[in-house]
Structure 1
Amino acid sequence: MPHKPRPRLLPTVLAALFTVAGLTATQAVPAAAHTTTPTAAATVAAENPYERGPDPTEDSIEAVRGPYAVSDTSVSRLSVSGFGGGTIYYPTTTRDGTFGAVVISPGFTATQSSIAWLGPRLASQGFVVMTIDTLTTLDQPDSRGRQLLAALDYLTDRSRVRDRVDSSRLGVMGHSMGGGGSLEAAKSRPSLQAAVPLTGWNLDKSWPELRTPTLVVGADGDTIAPVATHSEPFYESLPRSLDRAYLELNNASHLTPNTPDTTIAKYSLSWLKRFIDNDTRYEQFLCPLPRPSLTIEEYRGNCPHTS
């Protein structure tokens, strides 16, 4: 995926000017938390202005809350079109500029309350997150995909927090038919930078046209959308040239994404950070591929990532 060119010469020029002026680089440019020298900090910031938050650790990505304080605002279905309203969760600070954004759809017969736990959890790590209600609880994946995109358009163009959102850094998630909808949304809008279907359901099993980095999450005990007929075919059909991954949860069911789950949060967050924010600090949690464990039945993917 193309990214904006990063200015690389500025730190060197500044260092030279500081030397002429008799100043030290340490005095002129405060050190970043994740570097040992000020010049390196400036270079990192110049190369990726989208990094948000301190250096991640295993503990920080598994935490119930990240470093950002979060506020939320309700969106009435009467005030929008194309989807059924929802809740926006966002970092309260404006010091760090804009944030990438994610919209999340619930599954068949469900409302946003079923996936509400993901809102503050992801927002506290440095995203604007919107959990939505669908037009009807019976909407199918293709409709949910259109509604995810309508919600993204509302979030970036008309919402109260639109000035906090970077409209070039967007992703989608969803549970069950909402997960199938996230694949539909990525198919319709290739500019999306991340998709994460959670125990997704869709009659369409083949997605070779996707150009959005996609993390497919399945559950070994899913009897509603069994991995053999849903998540695995979804993953296997994705282009091999695409950054893609398949996470199969161990000792989990179709409804596991409806309650707080550390493994889902950990790898969803890492995927969104890596591809929406282009934050390579999170690559360490995705590559080398995670090994089977008490919570992971299987993990497949391409490493290192190319985007």
Structure 2
Amino acid sequence: MAAVVALGTAATPSAHAADNPYERGPAPSNSSIEALRGSYSVSETRVSSLSVSGFGGGTIYYPTSTADGTFGAVVVAPGFTATQSSMAWLGPRLASQGFVVFTIDTLTTLDQPDSRGRQMLSALDYLTGQSSIRTRVDSSRLGVMGHSMGGGGTLEAAKSRPSLQAAIPLTPWNLDKTWPEVSTPTLVVGADGDTIAPVLTHAEPFYGSLPSSTDRAYLELNNATHFSPNTSNTTIAKYSISWLKRFIDNDTRYEQFLCPLPQPSLTIDEYRGNCPHNG
């Protein structure tokens, strides 16, 4: 009997891997997703605005090793008057967990959310079709993130391209308050002290208007401002990594950090969402 049990135990990891060929990296823990760096060494390459069209260039961060095959990818857009440098901390932090991350500049720093959304999709198309690391990207596993007007653009991109696997608007701003067309799993991150895109008129109604059939969550940062996403933030990183892993990589090992719903803490004012997840 012991031999049968041992065989069954030994077979489990390979069966699990066969069930999900997109899984990347070791089994996660609270400390691994809160760490400044994950298990992958990271390389980066700059993309000149002169070599692309439809967006303003940027920086691609990616796992150095090709031993694990391709990776899912996410484009990160800045906010109003900002450049990619304002979101640069997310590049290596997410890439070291097993993603290709493209932090972009927009055509002008004054572009509105609908334009930023289109630019994010142009950047994804460049990443998967023309970039020097395109062979490292699985073009079927893509997501978008953005801050402020880039967060509003994240919703616009998800609305325009339902094939996206994940969207994370960070303290998002948009004049459009309702997003019933979005079917992409979406994590909306607001800040309790945001006076530029107050959660009552932005993040909360954006989240509330997402269809109940869409995997969705609302994370409100405690003691935070509109600009909290512009500097290294462990709470944003922890739940962004978990969300991207769960929905871009379909990696259910990360479900434990999202369901049951996280409770209020020193860094979390409120967290809402649907559990268990549909996808």
Letter in 2 for 1:116: A
2:67 matched to which residue of 1?
Answer: 95
The residue that corresponds to 1:294 in the other structure is 266
Deviations 1:207-244 (A, max 9, x none): 00101000000000000000000000000000011100
- 1:123 equivalent in structure 2: 95
Deviation at 1:41, TM superposition (A): 1.2
Is 1:149 matched up with 2:121? yes
Per the alignment, residue 3 of structure 1 pairs with none
Report the residue type matching 1:226 in the other structure: P
The CA RMSD over aligned residues, in Å, is 1.0
Whole-angstrom CA distance in 1 between matches of 2:264 and 2:104: 33
Q: Hey, what does 2:142 align to over in structure 1?
A: 170
Match of 1:10 in 2: none
Cα deviation, 1:35-65, whole Å, max 9, x if unaligned, reads: x933111100110001000000000000000
Q: Which one of 196, 219, 235 corresponds to residue 168 of structure 2?
A: 196
Q: How many aligned positions are there?
A: 274
SS in 2 for 1:37: helix
Which TM-score applies when normalising by structure 1?
A: 0.88
2:234 to 257, 262, 286: 262
The equivalent residue for 1:81 is: 53
Q: Distance in 2 between matches of 1:171 and 1:125?
A: 15
Unmatched runs of 5 consecutive residues or more in structure 1: 1-24, 27-35
Query: Structure with the greater relative contact order (CA < 8 A, sep ≥ 6): 1 or 2?
Result: 2
What amino acid is aligned across from residue 10 of structure 2 in structure 1? P
Tell me how far apart the structure 2 counterparts of residues 62 and 234 of structure 1 sit (CA, whole Å): 27
TM-score (norm 2): 0.97
SS of equivalent to 1:40: helix
Largest Rg, 1 or 2? 1
Tell me what 2:223 maps to.
251
Structure 1 CA distance, aligned partners of 2:262 and 2:24?
A: 24
Q: CA deviation at 1:188?
A: 0.3
Consecutive unaligned residues of structure 2, counting only runs of 5 or more, are 1-5
Q: What is the percentage of aligned positions where both structures have the same residue?
A: 80
